Amino acid sequence: MNTATESLTGVIGIDGHDGTGKTTIARAAAHALNASYQRPFGGERGSLLARAADAGDSDGVLRIGEAAIAAAISRAGPVRPLVVERSWLTVGSLVSDEEFYERWQLWIPTILCWADLPTTLERLGMCAEPTESMERHRHYVDRYRCMAEDRGCVIVDTSNATDDEAIAEVVRAARRLLRWASVPSMQSGRAGDIQ
C-alpha cells in the first residue's frame, strides 16, 4: 500500500448541503468516536472555493478542493480516526460529473447528511426567498444525493430526525466504515470504491 493510501486510512468524511445539520453531527460524531475533527473549507479556503465556483473555474475548484482536504488531513497528523467536515462531495457538487470523476484523486469514505428541500429551506429560514435561491438549493439537495448514490455512500436523512437520532446513525455508519477500511484485503481496491 502506498503512503497516500496509508494517510487516508481512518479518515471519514461527513458531508452535505447547508441546513442538513452536518456541522453539529460531525462535531458530535468526532467526539463519540474519540476522533480528531477538521474543517477543510473553514475560513479563507472556503471563500476561495466559492469564488472559483462562482467564476466557473473548474480547474480552480478541483485544485483548491484537493489542497484544502489534503491540508486538513495533514494538520491532524497521524491521529486517527479523523472526521473531516465537508469532503469530496462538496467539491464535486461544484463541477460537472465528467470533470470531477475523471480528475479527482482524493477519495475518502464519506457519509452524506441529507435533508429534503422543504426542510432545508425551513432550517435556513429561506421560505420567502426569491425563486432563484430556492432553485439553487433544489440543485444542491439533488446534486449531493445523486453523487452519494452514484458512489455508494451512506446517506443519513436528517429531514425528520432529531439531532441525537442523526448523530447516532452517523456514528454507527462511521464505525462500520472504519472497521471495513482497516481490513488489509479491502484496502487494495480502488480508493473510489471505498465510499
Residue 48 falls inside a structural domain: yes
User: Which domain does 169 fall in, by range?
Assistant: 3-190
Residue 53 falls inside a structural domain: yes
- Residues in the chain, pLDDT under 70: 1-7, 126-132, 181-195
Return the pLDDT at 53. 96
Distances (CA, A) of 70 to 19, 60, 62, 85, 121: 25, 15, 12, 13, 31
Residue 195 falls inside a structural domain: no
Return the pLDDT at 179. 85
For residue 126, give every residue at least 6 positions away whose Cβ sits within 8 Å of its Cβ, in sequence order, or none: 133, 134, 137
Return the pLDDT at 182. 55
Return the pLDDT at 192. 40
The structural domain count of the chain equals 1
* pTM check: above 0.85: yes
Return the pLDDT at 130. 59
Hey, what's the cell of 166?
442523526
Alpha helices of 77-129 — where are they, by DSSP H? 88-92, 97-103, 117-123
CATH number reported for the structural domain that contains residue 104 in this entry:
3.40.50.300
Residue 125 falls inside a structural domain: yes
Return the pLDDT at 126. 67
Return the pLDDT at 74. 95
Residue 173 falls inside a structural domain: yes
Residue 54 falls inside a structural domain: yes
Alpha helices of 33-130 — where are they, by DSSP H? 44-54, 58-76, 88-92, 97-103, 117-123
